[in-house]
Structure 1
């Protein structure tokens, strides 16, 4: 009979492997990204908050350097068609396993919108405009979409999206085309104009990532994810990656993933040799941001989150808001008010030790945030209530 891994053991693994215990915190930004098999980056603030929650010495400047100077983190439209920041070494595997297929769909979608909502556009003109945009960007070194549109008038044209609908409207062809070039791995975002929360940024050309055979790439992505998130179910991996069930099963088979029993009676999977790995125990608290990789790491979350608390902490699309953790469980949520005050609410009384640890984490977060004010891109009911 497969080995039983209890919920308590899973929570112990989580605290250690996700670098959330103080003793396990990392020294560098890439170490954090690798420990989590990637960082959610749809919201610009998430990368900074997720990393600094796990660094021995939190530093937004260190995240800046990793993203924009050293480029030791690469952002890719990948798992579940969301943006992830992964290490430079891991990026080719994510690109081949997931991002390339998404880029194909992105191109087909853009072509459909161009044919329906813009005049004179077809596949040939799109390809020509892409080449011209890349040449103009190479000449400038880096440029915003509006700057490139000064060189290429075609980028100033618009697409009528959802014609005939009340929510329809025009979108810039330039913004859609640069997004496509990014998903194809031809360009990357540069440092934001303003603070690290800014959504105004320039683009720069990048070398093409090395090609990895798709099957090999999927196996490597699954291996890294299981190392960080195992034990987990087949359904968890399928959800996290956005792969088909067939591709998910093939990747797990290529790894020779080992079955274990989980406390709820379902079959879990771990890497060979990881069935009985003892992970350190000990109390820990964390304040994690919206879309944090730990909060969003599994489809089945009952072992670390009471289902009764989901409506307060997630929006209707399933995006997680800021959460308060104690010893591997989500026990509340937090927010930052406009005056900078960090506030939180706990769903239950976890005791004096937990409350003291949570207050210490709030102080630690406030100390490195300084004057920065963070509003999650995806607002959740509890976060809105706390700042009102």
Structure 2
């Protein structure tokens, strides 16, 4: 079986994640292609798409949010993701058990003995009026019958039990707004797709294919790390005949779609600025293809990173109207110039062309 080295896997990830070459795709198609964008920080998907698409206009994504073409909802790993409306409807039921289990894992003592089906029914009744509410407002409406359960626990479980979306203006470009939730069925005009029969898993099989298209070649453990779903071995087995297999340098089996891009490991990789919690990092159990072990914690800490030669080589932020970059290692002259050029373009994007200032600081530590 062919062994794919770290650099080969890195270039495959960059190609699948539209980070090797910016793509000429509409924003909705890009969101679908990468399997959604993690979006608990509402403005971060705009940077994620700017780094992936040519001539990206943030207004087009705002229009998709307000026009119901994409939605913000809890899905993979019980984190807020920006996904297409079609994916939200198709994927939500498959994620239901995981969403419940993860909330129960945090609030098990408080929720012990609570009839979850009853709670879900009451929550739907409260939401049926179509009024968008915060999670705490939903929870307070249910708290009278459960005085010993904190509103936080009730609210978190309610969001897991009942398919909801977070409504605009949250998630609109340069707009600050709190979370207001509404039923998926109210916002999108129909219920989520029902669960498949127990002996079938068509959504799981589709998730395997979609994951590999966006992140492959990858191991089953990587797939699970991306979506948080435990019950996908059957789905992997069902589609295995369609796939090709490799090994990584650790000996793990990697699966992939046969015709998916696997660029030459020596393909040059441009400087790319990634938003916080980008799935190019979080979408794997083994993240060594894109980040050194010493910096692995950056990916889960909400730190924005810069890819240098395809790997995490710096962090970035915005301070005093300028994009500030902190290298994690010494930069070559060419890398310094590349960071400055891409950073200026990002600063111009973030400021609507008002400035393009970049400050590259000394190496961290």
TM-score range, shorter chain: 0.7 to 0.9
Q: Distance in 2 between matches of 1:76 and 1:301?
A: 25
Q: Distance in 2 between matches of 1:129 and 1:39?
A: 31
Q: Distance in 2 between matches of 1:80 and 1:146?
A: 22
How do 1:197-276 residues align onto structure 2 when only pairs under 5 Å count?
A: 198-205=176-183, 206=185, 207-211=190-194, 213=196, 215-244=201-230, 247-256=231-240, 257-274=243-260
Q: 2:74 matched to 1:77? A: yes
Whether the aligned pair in 1 keeps the contact of 2:314 and 2:326 (CA below 8 Å) is yes
Q: Distance in 2 between matches of 1:275 and 1:145?
A: 42
Structure-2 change in CA distance of 1:67 and 1:6 (3 Å): same
Structure-2 change in CA distance of 1:158 and 1:360 (3 Å): farther
Q: Distance in 2 between matches of 1:367 and 1:125?
A: 51
Counterpart of 2:344 in structure 1 is 363
For residues 182-221 of structure 1, give each alpha carbon's deviation from its aligned partner in whole angstroms, at most 9, with x where no partner exists: 4445432211369756351433342212235261111111
How far the C-alpha of 1:222 sits from its partner, in A, is 1.1
How far the C-alpha of 1:68 sits from its partner, in A, is 2.3
How do 1:1-388 residues align onto structure 2 when only pairs under 5 Å count?
A: 2-21=1-20, 23-69=21-67, 71-97=68-94, 99-105=95-101, 113=110, 126=119, 129-137=122-130, 140=131, 142=132, 171=151, 176-177=154-155, 180=157, 182-184=159-161, 186-192=163-169, 196=174, 198-205=176-183, 206=185, 207-211=190-194, 213=196, 215-244=201-230, 247-256=231-240, 257-274=243-260, 281-311=267-297, 313-314=298-299, 318-337=300-319, 339-370=320-351
For residues 317-373 of structure 1, give each alpha carbon's deviation from its aligned partner in whole angstroms, at most 9, with x where no partner exists: x44411110232111111122x2221112222342222222222211221121289x
Whether the aligned pair in 1 keeps the contact of 2:274 and 2:305 (CA below 8 Å) is yes
Structure-2 change in CA distance of 1:146 and 1:308 (3 Å): closer
How far the C-alpha of 1:94 sits from its partner, in A, is 2.2
Whether the aligned pair in 2 keeps the contact of 1:331 and 1:346 (CA below 8 Å) is yes
Q: Distance in 1 between matches of 2:3 and 2:145?
A: 59
Structure-2 change in CA distance of 1:319 and 1:148 (3 Å): closer
Whether the aligned pair in 2 keeps the contact of 1:16 and 1:280 (CA below 8 Å) is no
Structure-2 change in CA distance of 1:156 and 1:68 (3 Å): farther
Task: Report how many residues are paired.
Answer: 344
User: What SS does the aligned partner of 1:91 have?
Assistant: helix
TM-score, normalization by structure 1: 0.75
Mind listing any 5+ residue stretches in structure 2 that lack a counterpart?
354-360
Structure 1 range deviating more: 60-69 or 204-213: 204-213
Mind listing any 5+ residue stretches in structure 1 that lack a counterpart?
162-169, 373-382
Q: Distance in 2 between matches of 1:4 and 1:91?
A: 36
User: What SS does the aligned partner of 2:291 have?
Assistant: coil
How far the C-alpha of 1:107 sits from its partner, in A, is 8.2
Cα RMSD after superposing both structures? 3.6
TM-score, normalization by structure 2: 0.79
Whether the aligned pair in 1 keeps the contact of 2:209 and 2:257 (CA below 8 Å) is yes
